């Protein structure tokens, strides 16, 4: 990706309507493509966590993250490269039961890829694999090559920093102490 | 102990009053009618100014906010009422102007159904507001409105949009005002780093040729005194951005004038000669810097700003000083060693002389030929003893306005900087007069820009607003014509203006007016305008092919200024 790095942007926000829009506009203005996106409630009640990956140069990602961080409803935004993170994606593969059963070395395949069978009926089987992009892709390639994949879906990346604590909890308690906020005033 | 329930509209009005609102600019319509109906009973507490177009309401709110330092407020209806506010909201976002825009919206149960005059106001305004929120229940009103004022006015100020569903205007609610003073996810004042304060002071103390760039942040922070103390102790000359003008009086010895594309020669050239460049509450806009590759490369740069995302955005910074300028300037000043840079300061004089000879003499003191914009602005400034509020539109009139008007007090300039919105001037002047009723408000506008919001003459008529309006009529879209002359081989594509009789239009609105095209009449006409009790429109027919000089072509090096060679 011509000298660009894959960055993982992690954003903690209030759980308000329209936040995703606020965030994506900032990526759009800087012409950054969002590669993956995952949004879910965080460990702290009422706070949402966005995990977004994008290819960018350092200068651009730095400015984009500052601009995201500045939005009123954003608690904290930061970015990391892969070295700082433990990250994972999950993929589901639907294949034909008949073909799968006839396939050579099914057991080895399941072991090799550390795959689980989630669902099995007369017509189809759904396999699940989690891993890095390359890993889920490899299984996809192998299956498509041998028996074909009827449906495939991959989740966005989820990531955790290698440093010990979720920085947010500290920041949040400091912030609440500083502002003297009682829970009902949030 | 039974509390009386009130309607959402009453709750909104009471919250506005509690937030200190005295004036609102607006325009009614279907989805905001319950509010307007209740407003009828609050006329003693809140003055509503009926504008003629919702864009006018937003610019008026901006003008009001810029001169008064308070939050400007607009109320409009849903759909087209709301979309008509977009330009003003975007302008306020670019220029950090605190306004709260309240638009009516269809009842919450009808949202998303393409109901009559329903529009996704939040979706449209999110990129151009500091905060945009839809009020769907009357219970949210106090919280949302108070939060809106808090967000609009703190930190780096900006516009807030409140989309107010009709059911919330009508529904009943227990009213208890509770002021919002914190928002967990929003830190308006970044923590001041003592290390950065010390480093900044140390660098300034070591400087031989320090130069300060003053932006609107100084005014927004109310840091004019702190700036003065800082410049005095460090003996530091300063230039000003367009929006930073009037933070320092024009005649202050360390005020070296305007920066940027049509700025003064001295401050632009010195930007590339200084050894330490100290930016205070400004954002290195391209109209100020020109080509970044050749901008202040020799200097160490210190940037004072309240907005962390501005620091390092356009220009790499050696020492960031995050925080409110009022505090950070004072903290740095405390650590300064009183300095004397008189030789450096005196070195500006040669540039001033050069500009006087090559540009100002011809523009402000011509003896023959057609009237010139700079001459008109300069004479009005003298006639008001340099102590009026200057409001400009956009284009040559704006550049001439800010170049040739002078100031004694802060918050004396209202102009559209970042967005460069033609049509801003007239409604902004209306708002400015409400924001500073005791002050003379002078508007300079072009014949083009005036016609973008001309309908606001109706507001002036109805409200009997004492504005001194000067149309600098060059029968061209002058600034575009100037670029065509310089960069497009004099091909005047769509810039010739066939204009109406502006004085007759003013007359139709009952506004006193006079048209002048001779030098001998100008002084008298200005005196007549200023002595007239009430609104006055002075139409001055000026040189049709006038140019604003000096000029740094867009993207050019800040020191390469084109002068008037004719
Ligand atoms: C809403 C809007 N449309 C277009 C422009 C582009 N523009 C900038 S200056 C200018 C000419 C302004 O002409 P006029 O109002 O007559 O003022 P003058 O420059 O002659 O003083 C134009 C068209 C703008 N800034 N704003």
Question: Which residues of chain B have a CB within 8 Å of the CB of A175?
Answer: 184, 187
Distance from CA of B427 to the nearest CA of A (A): 29
Mean pLDDT of A86-94: 97
**Does the pLDDT at position A28 exceed 50?**
yes
* pLDDT tens track for B469-494: 999 999 999 999 999 999 999 999 99
For chain A, give the number of residues: 186
Nearest-5° Cα angle at B78, B72 to B79: 120
Best probe residue, ligand 1, of B392, B394, B473 (max atoms within 8 Å of C-beta): B394
Residue A181 is predicted with a pLDDT of: 55
**pLDDT at B194 exceeding the cut of 50:** yes
The answer as to whether A183 is a domain residue is no
CB contact under 8 A, A17 and B134: yes
Per-residue pLDDT reduced to its tens digit, B507-554 = 999 999 999 999 999 999 999 999 999 999 999 999 999 999 999 999
Q: Do domains B6-173 and B370-541 have the same CATH topology?
A: yes
Is it the case that residue B152 has pLDDT exceeding 90? yes
CB contact under 8 A, A25 and B307: no
Q: Whose CA is nearest to atom 8 of ligand 1?
A: B395
B428 within 8 A of B91, measured Cβ to Cβ: no
Among B139, B73, B136, which Cα is nearest to B102's?
Answer: B73
> Domain total for chain A?
2
pLDDT of residue B4: 79
- Rounded mean pLDDT of B178-190? 93
Using the mean position of ligand 1's atoms as its centre, give its distance from the Cα of residue B552 in Å: 18
The beta strand positions in B259-342, using DSSP E, are: 276-280, 300-305, 319-322
Mean pLDDT along residues B106-118: 96
Domain contains A94: yes
A14 touches chain B (CB under 8 A): yes
Class for domain B194-348, per CATH? alpha beta
Q: Does residue A25 sit in the same domain as residue A63? A: yes
CB B97 within 8 A of CB B416: no
Determine the pLDDT at residue A2.
65
Could you tell me the two tokens for B342?
A: 């008189």
Q: Mean pLDDT across the stretch B234-260?
A: 98
- Which pLDDT score is estimated for A166? 61
Q: Burial of B11 by CB count in 10 Å (0-12 exposed, 13-18 middle, 19+ buried)?
A: buried
Calculate mean pLDDT across residues A130-157: 96
Residue B137 has pLDDT above 90, yes or no: yes
Active site residue B469: no
Residue A58 lies in a domain: yes
Distance from CA of B186 to the nearest CA of A (A): 5
Residue B81 token pair: 């009422």
Residues of A in contact with B187 (CB under 8 A): 175
Measured between CB atoms, does A84 come within 8 Å of chain B? no
Q: Name all residues whose Cβ lies below 6 A of ligand 1.
A: B 393-397, 420-423, 446-449, 472, 474, 476-480
Q: Concatenated DSSP letters for B184-246?
A: TTB-SSPPP-HHHHHHHHHHHHH-SSEEEEE-HHHHHHT-HHHHHHHHHHHT--EEE-TTTTT
Indicate whether A76 and A11 sit together in one domain.
yes
> Which pLDDT belongs to residue A185?
46
User: What would the pLDDT profile of A150-175 be if each residue is shown by its tens digit?
Assistant: 999 999 999 998 886 666 777 777 77
Report the CATH number that the domain containing residue A46 is assigned in CATH.
Answer: 3.30.70.260
pLDDT for residue A184 is more than 50? no
Q: Is A67 touching B (CB cutoff 8 A)?
A: yes
User: Of B200, B228, B223, which Cα lies nearest the Cα of B332?
Assistant: B200
Q: What are phi and psi of B371, to 5 degrees?
A: -60, 150
pLDDT at B229: 98
B488's tokens: 């497009």
> What integer is the mean pLDDT of A68-74?
95
Residue A176 has pLDDT above 90, yes or no: no
Average pLDDT of chain B?
Answer: 97
Active site residue B166: yes
Among A72, A168, A180, the residue to mutate for chain B (most B Cβ within 10 A): A72
Q: Which residues of A touch B126 (CB under 8 A)?
A: 18, 21-22, 25
pLDDT of residue B2: 54
Q: Which of B392, B449, B453, B498 is the pocket-test mutation for ligand 1 (most atoms within 8 Å of CB)?
A: B449
Both A96 and A33 in one domain: the answer is no
Alpha carbons within 13 A on the beta-carbon side of B243: 27
Locate B263 and state its tokens.
Answer: 């700025």
Nearest residue on chain B to A11, judged by CA atoms? B185
Arithmetic mean of pLDDT, A42-48: 89
A180 Ramachandran zone, left/alpha/beta (phi>0; psi -120 to 50): left
B 312-371 residues with CB < 8 A to A: 312-313
Q: How far apart are CA B14 and CA B364, in angstroms?
A: 51
Name the percent of chain A lying above pLDDT 70. Answer: 92
> Which of B123, B182, B313 faces A179 most closely, judged by CB atoms?
B182
- Domain shared by A145 and A100, yes or no: yes
Domain check: are A102 and A147 in the same one? Answer: yes
Q: pLDDT tens across B93-102, in order?
A: 999 999 999 9
Q: Is B304 a catalytic residue?
A: no
Q: Which of B117, B462, B485, B528 is catalytic?
A: B117
- The per-residue pLDDT for B1 is 46
Q: What is the pLDDT of residues B14-58, one digit of tens each?
A: 999 999 999 999 999 999 999 999 999 999 999 999 999 999 999
DSSP states along B511-552: -EEEEE-SHHHHHHHHHHHHHSSS-EEEEEE--TT----SB-
Alpha carbon distance B278, B217 (integer Å): 13
Q: B308 and A175 in contact by Cβ < 8 A?
A: no
| Structural domain contains residue A47 | yes
Q: For B62-78, what is each residue's pLDDT tens digit?
A: 999 999 999 999 999 99
The answer to whether the predicted template modeling score (pTM) of the entire model surpasses 0.90 is yes
Question: Does the pLDDT of residue A183 top 50, yes or no?
Answer: no
User: Is residue B167 exposed (0-12), middle (13-18) or buried (19+ Cβ within 10 Å)?
Assistant: buried
One domain for residues A76 and A12: yes
Residue B186 has pLDDT above 90, yes or no: yes
Q: Does A13 touch chain B (CB under 8 A)?
A: yes
Ligand 1 centroid to residue B422 C-alpha, Å = 6
pLDDT of residue A186: 43
Element (H, E) at A172: helix A167-179
Query: B185 and A73 in contact by Cβ < 8 A?
Result: yes
Q: Are both A14 and A74 inside the same structural domain? A: yes
Are A14 and B185 inside 8 Å of each other by CB?
A: yes
Question: B392, B403, B373: which is closest to B445 by C-alpha?
Answer: B392
Both A114 and A148 in a single domain?
A: yes
* Residue ranges making up the domain that contains A122: 86-158
B566 by Cβ neighbours in 10 Å (0-12 / 13-18 / 19+) ranks as exposed
Smallest CA–CA distance, residue A142 to chain B, in Å, is 43
A66–B308 C-beta distance less than 8 A: yes
With a pLDDT cut of 90, the percent of chain B lying above it is 99
Q: CATH classification of B6-173 is 3.40.50.970, yes or no? A: yes
On whether both A92 and A28 belong to a single domain, the answer is no
**Of the CATH numbers 3.40.50.620, 3.40.50.150, 3.40.50.970, 2.40.50.140, which one belongs to the domain with range B370-541?**
3.40.50.970
Tokens of B205: 């103390």
pLDDT of the residue at A178? 67
Same domain, A30 and A60: yes
Measured between alpha carbons, how far is B351 from B563 in angstroms, rounded to an integer?
Answer: 12
Mean pLDDT, residues B170-194 taken together:
95
The one catalytic residue in B94, B261, B373, B479 is B479
- The CB-based long-range contact list for A108-117 (8 Å cut-off, 24+ gap) reads A109/A142, A113/A138, A113/A139, A115/A139
Q: Sort out which chain B residues have CB atoms less than 8 A from A75's CB and list them.
A: 184-185
Average pLDDT, chain A: 90
Residue A120 lies in a domain: yes
Residues from chain B contacting residue A29 (CB–CB below 8 Å)? 127
């Amino acid at each position: 990706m011509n000298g660009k790095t894959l960055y993982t942007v992690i954003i903690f926000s209030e759980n308000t309507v329209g936040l995703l829009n606020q965030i994506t506009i900032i990526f759009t203005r800087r012409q950054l493509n969002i590669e993956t996106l995952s949004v879910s409630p965080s460990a702290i009640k009422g706070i949402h966590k966005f995990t977004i990956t994008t290819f960018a140069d350092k200068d651009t990602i730095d400015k984009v993250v500052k601009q995201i961080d500045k939005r009123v409803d954003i608690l904290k935004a930061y970015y990391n490269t892969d070295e700082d993170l433990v990250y994972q994606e999950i993929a589901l593969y639907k294949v034909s039961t008949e073909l799968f059963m006839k396939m050579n070395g099914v057991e080895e395949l399941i072991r090799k890829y550390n795959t689980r069978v989630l669902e099995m009926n007369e017509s189809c089987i759904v396999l699940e694999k989690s891993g890095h992009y390359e890993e889920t892709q490899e299984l996809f390639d192998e299956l498509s090559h041998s028996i074909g994949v009827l449906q495939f879906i991959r989740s966005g990346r989820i990531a955790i920093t290698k440093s010990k604590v979720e920085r947010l909890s500290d920041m949040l308690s400091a912030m609440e102490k500083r502002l003297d906020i009682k829970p009902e005033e949030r | 102990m039974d509390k009386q329930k009130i309607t959402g509209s009453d709750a909104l009005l009471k919250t506005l009053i509690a937030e200190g609102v005295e004036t609102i600019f607006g325009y009614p319509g279907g989805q905001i009618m319950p509010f307007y109906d209740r407003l009828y009973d609050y006329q003693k507490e809140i003055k509503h100014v009926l504008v003629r177009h919702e864009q006018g309401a937003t610019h008026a709110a901006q003008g009001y906010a810029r001169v008064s330092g308070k939050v400007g407020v607009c109320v409009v209806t849903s759909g087209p009422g709301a979309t008509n506010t977009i330009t003003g909201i975007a302008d306020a976002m670019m220029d950090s102007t605190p306004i709260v825009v309240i638009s009516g919206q269809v009842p919450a149960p009808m949202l998303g159904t393409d109901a009559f005059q329903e529009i996704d106001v939040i979706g449209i305004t999110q990129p151009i507001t500091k905060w945009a929120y839809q009020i769907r229940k009357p219970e949210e009103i106090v919280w949302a409105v108070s939060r809106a004022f808090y967000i609009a006015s703190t930190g780096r100020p900006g516009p807030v949009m409140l989309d107010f569903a009709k059911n919330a205007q009508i529904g009943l609610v227990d009213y208890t005002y509770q002021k919002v003073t914190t928002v967990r996810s929003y830190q308006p004042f970044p923590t001041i780093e003592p290390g950065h304060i010390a480093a900044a002071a140390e660098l300034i103390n070591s400087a031989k040729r320090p130069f300060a760039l003053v932006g609107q942040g100084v005014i927004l922070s109310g840091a004019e005194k702190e700036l003065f103390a800082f410049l005095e102790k460090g003996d530091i000359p300063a230039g000003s951005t367009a929006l930073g003008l009037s933070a320092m009086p024009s005649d202050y010895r360390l005020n070296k004038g305007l920066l940027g594309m049509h700025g003064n020669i001295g401050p632009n050239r010195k930007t590339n000669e200084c050894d330490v460049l100290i930016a205070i509450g400004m954002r290195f806009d391209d109209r100020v810097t020109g080509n970044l590759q050749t901008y202040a490369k020799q200097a160490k740069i210190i940037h004072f700003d309240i907005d962390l995302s501005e620091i390092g955005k356009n220009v790499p910074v050696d020492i960031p000083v995050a925080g409110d300028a009022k505090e950070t300037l004072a903290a740095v000043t405390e650590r300064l060693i009183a300095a004397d840079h008189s030789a450096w300061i005196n070195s500006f004089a040669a540039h001033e002389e050069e500009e006087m000879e090559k540009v100002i003499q011809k523009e402000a003191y011509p003896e023959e030929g057609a009237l010139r914009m700079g001459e008109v602005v300069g004479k009005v400034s003298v006639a008001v003893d340099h102590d009026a509020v200057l409001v400009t539109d956009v284009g040559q009139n704006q550049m001439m306005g800010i170049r040739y008007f002078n100031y004694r007090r802060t918050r004396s300039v209202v102009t559209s900087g970042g967005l460069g919105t033609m049509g801003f001037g007239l409604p902004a002047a209306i708002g400015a007069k409400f924001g500073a009723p005791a002050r003379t408000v002078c508007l300079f506008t072009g014949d083009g820009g005036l016609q973008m919001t001309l309908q606001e003459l109706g507001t002036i008529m109805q409200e009997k607003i004492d504005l001194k309006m000067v149309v600098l009529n060059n029968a061209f879209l002058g600034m575009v014509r100037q670029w065509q002359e310089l960069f497009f081989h004099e091909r005047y594509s769509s810039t010739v203006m066939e204009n109406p009789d502006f004085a007759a239009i003013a007359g139709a609105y009952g506004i006193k007016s006079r048209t002048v095209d001779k030098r001998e009449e100008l002084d008298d006409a200005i005196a007549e305008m200023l002595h007239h009790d009430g609104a006055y429109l002075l139409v001055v027919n000026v040189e049709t092919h006038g140019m604003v000089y000096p000029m740094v072509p867009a993207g050019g090096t800040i020191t390469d200024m084109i002068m008037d060679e004719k």
